[in-house]
Amino acid sequence: MTKTASDRYGPAETLLSRVYGRERVELAVTRNGYRRVDWHGRRSWLGVDPETARETYQRYCLHAFVVHLFRQVWQRVAGG
């Protein structure tokens, strides 16, 4: 299977979703594979292997969590 434009922008079913403050990460399945959506709304095609897609999703979740923690610490230090 190969990536098509609809895999990035077309319909998909959300399998997993995590939210950390303003940061949101989704793992979705399309007709030809998997994609993720980050907190900016950017979409990336992750391929057809479910294990690789899940590992990539978990890395993005970790990144979103770290960004969220950094924002919280920064707001406390800045007095906001």
Q: Read off the pLDDT of residues 35-48 as tens digits, 9 standing for 90 and up.
A: 988 878 888 889 89
Both tokens of residue 57? 């999703």
Alpha helix segments (H runs only) across 1-80: 5-9, 50-78
Among the listed ranges 12-16, 22-26, 40-44, 67-71, which one has the minimum average pLDDT value?
A: 40-44
Mean pLDDT across 61-78: 94
Burial class (CB in 10 A: 0-12, 13-18, 19+), 13: exposed
